[in-house]
Amino acid sequence: MKKKAVAVLLAGIMVFVTACGGKGAPTTENKAEGKGYTIGISQFAEHGSLDNCRKGFLEGLAEEGIVEGENLTVEYQNAQADTGAAGQIAATFLSHKADLICAVATPAAAAAYTAAMKTGVPVIYTAVSDPVGSGLANADGSPVGEVTGTSDKLPVEAQLAMIREILPEAKTIGILYTTSETNSEATLREYEAHVEEYGFELVTTGISNGSELALAADNLISRVDCVNNLTDNTVVQGLPTILEKAGKAGVPVFGSELEQVKAGCLAAVGLDYVALGRQTGKMAAKVLKGEAKASEQNFELISEYGLYLNTKVASDLGLALDEEYVSSALESYDSVSAE
């Protein structure tokens, strides 16, 4: 059975939204009259990868002639990793008569679609790891309604191969995740299916909210040879805590995208979230221009991944990285960002 992330939202939201209604995308005639477009951007949490998605999304729209401040009004709100707040944000956008909602990350996407599904207002999501498992797409990739977007599905086997390359003697990988994030559960299932092929044992620890992160990190770090970070929004927000604790214990932490490597993870095979957002913006532009409905566009995956390395972190851990391997990285860093 597919997991329905949309089912965990506020019980009263549908009543509120039905009363508010929605006007759908503006017509070409309205745009010609200078009315332009109004969209709401609902971002689930505040961290580098999701910020990059939002940035790329607006760039993608601009490349298609839809420019903030010219013919586009943007309302942006951040749920700060609170699922209930994500539902309220979506309802607010609908009450403000948004033409389209952009939802950044799985919980925001689930909340937005739950709110908008009976209004006709399209939802375009980005950074959703498992659209099918989250109830936003059918098994063939087609939308379940006026909702579509892009997935940040991780290249799990490439990540495991990278960890084995850098840590040839490692036996255990630890993953910390949030039990309410279906995106993390979907990725964990992939890791469970492949870790033995690369000679690893997987050790996982689930948390229900950010307040449990520090203690859970201490427990996990004490039991593993390295930690592998996912795109779990709650955990990514607490990444500085994990990096501090792991650094003191001399345990490498691997990331899932370049912002995590900049922040102090040792390495990652991941995607460029600005590029992912840009791809999403182009999908949204088709909807706003009336070229294609959201329900007519299957969700999309980004096709290119890169190797990112932090040589300063490697040096701090006493790891000697092969020069040829370092030169193969799409980007490498010799410092740790302050953010």
Q: In what order do the strands lie in the sheet with 147-151?
A: 72-78, 37-43, 100-104, 123-126, 147-151, 300-301
Alpha carbons 5 and 144: distance in angstroms, whole number: 13
Start-end of CATH 3.40.50.2300 domains in the chain: 5-152+274-301, 156-270+305-333
Share of the chain above pLDDT 90, in %: 78
Tokens for 271, please give them. Answer: 């995607």
Can you give the pTM of this predicted structure? Answer: 0.79
Confidence of residue 35 (pLDDT cuts 50, 70, 90): low
pLDDT of residue 244: 96
Higher pLDDT, 179 or 338: 179
Output helix, strand, coil percentages for the chain, rounded to the nearest 5: 45, 20, 35
Q: What is the mean pLDDT of residues 82-91?
A: 96
| Maximal C-alpha separation, the chain | 66
Dihedral (Cα; 88, 80, 255, 9), 10-degree rounding: -30
Q: Which fold has domain 156-270+305-333?
A: Rossmann fold (3.40.50)
As its CATH architecture, domain 5-152+274-301 has 3-Layer(aba) Sandwich (3.40)
Q: Are 273 and 127 in contact (CB under 8 A)?
A: yes
Please state, in angstroms and rounded to a whole number, the distance separating the CA atoms of residues 114 and 10.
10
Average pLDDT, integer, range 272-285: 96
Could you give the CA distance from residue 276 to residue 98 in angstroms, rounded to a whole number? 23
What number of helices (H) and strands (E) belong to the chain? 14, 13
How far apart are the C-alpha atoms of 66 and 72, rounded to whole Å?
Answer: 6
Show Cβ contacts of residue 43 under 8 Å, excluding neighbours closer than 6 positions. Answer: 50, 51, 53, 54, 76, 77, 78, 79, 104, 105, 108
* Confidence (pLDDT) at 183: 82
Please check the confidence at residue 31 and state whether its pLDDT lies above 50.
Answer: no
Distance between CA 84 and CA 211 in Å, rounded? 17
- Among 97-101, 184-188, 220-224, which is the least confidently predicted range? 184-188
pLDDT score, position 201: 98
Q: What is the pLDDT of residues 293-336, one digit of tens each?
A: 999 999 999 877 899 999 999 999 999 999 999 999 999 999 88
CA angle, corner 115, sides to 111 and 117, nearest 5?
A: 110
3-state secondary structure at position 267: strand
